[in-house]
Every structure is written in C-alpha cells, then in structure tokens.
Amino acid sequence: MSHDYRKTPEALNRLTPGQYHVTQEDGTEPAFRNKYWDNHEAGIYVDVVSGQPLFSSIDKYDSGTGWPSFTKPIAADEVRTRTDRSSWMVRTEVRSAGADSHLGHLFDDGPAESGGQRYCMNSAALRFVPVADLEAEGYGEYRSLFDTTADSKGLAS
C-alpha cells in the first residue's frame, strides 16, 4: 500500500499553536508537561502533520527526561536527521521524512541492549493511534507488530 505523507495547507491549518510551533518552527515543548511522555498504551505514533507512521510503543521506554523516547523508528526511512547547531550546542535533529516536520532530537544515551539510541520526541509532533484503532484509521498493516510481541512485552492485543 502506497501512502503520500506530505505537508498540506489543510493539515497545517488543523494544528494547534503548540503543534505548529514544534513541527514548523523547530520548537520544544516542556518536559513532563506533554501528552505522551508517560503513555504506556500499545499503539503507534504518527506525524501530527501528515499521519506518517513513525514510532511504535514497542520501542518506547522511560528515559527519565520527560519526553516520549524511543530506541528506533518503525522503519529507518520514516525519519531523517540533520545537524542542529541551535541552542549553543551541536545536536542531531530528527524530522519526518514525508512532511519534514520537526520531531525532536537523537542522542546516543539510549539503552545499550537496544542499540544505544534515544529518539527524544515532542508529543506535540505526534498523534497516538491505539492498537484497537489501527485498522479503522488506515494503519492495519502495523497490527502485526503487536500480534507477535504481545506476549513478550505484556501488551494487550
């Protein structure tokens, strides 16, 4: 199934001011005061602008930073990175591949057993789709991620 995950004027008009600031102006939301930092429900996280699937709850972990953190994207080509020299430091910025939305930053202090990477994302850049809603929202192809891991991860299927 082919999808066209682009930024459209209509999609930008649907964003809240906070979502627009984060995704279009490279903003950062406050730690521990965002929607998904403590979400433990099974499902996927998609780009709030385009709907592009980006991360799975299977790869989400508590980094202690106050932002949703993941060990990897659903697929490597769903995100792209670039050097960010703002804020008087050099960091690796993460953007969605389809709509070029600013998502957050990539750090090398993630769990070693999962590759050592921490994708530290802004909740405002994401929309969560619970497993129970995957088919209804057009993400049925991602259901198998949870069917094969439900027992090992303690997730409800």
Q: Residue 66's Cα: distance from chain center in Å?
A: 14
Q: pTM of the predicted model, to two decimals?
A: 0.90
DSSP-assigned letter for residue 110:
S
Q: Could you tell me the fold of the domain covering 9-147?
A: 2.170.150
Instruction: Report in angstroms the alpha-carbon separations of 9 from 5, 115, 123, 129.
Output: 13, 37, 21, 23
| pLDDT the model gives residue 148 | 65
Domain residue ranges of the chain, discontinuous segments joined by +: 9-147
Of the residues 58, 74, 94, 120, which is catalytic?
120
Going by C-alpha positions, the residue among 125, 12, 15 that lies closest to residue 70 is 125
Tokens of 99: 């709509």
| Helix, coil or strand: residue 65 | coil
pLDDT string in tens for the chain (157-residue length): 457 899 999 999 999 999 999 999 999 999 999 999 999 999 999 999 999 999 999 999 999 999 999 999 999 999 999 988 887 788 899 999 999 999 999 999 999 999 999 999 999 999 999 999 999 999 999 999 998 654 444 444 3
Locus of tokens 């999962």:
114
120 is catalytic: yes
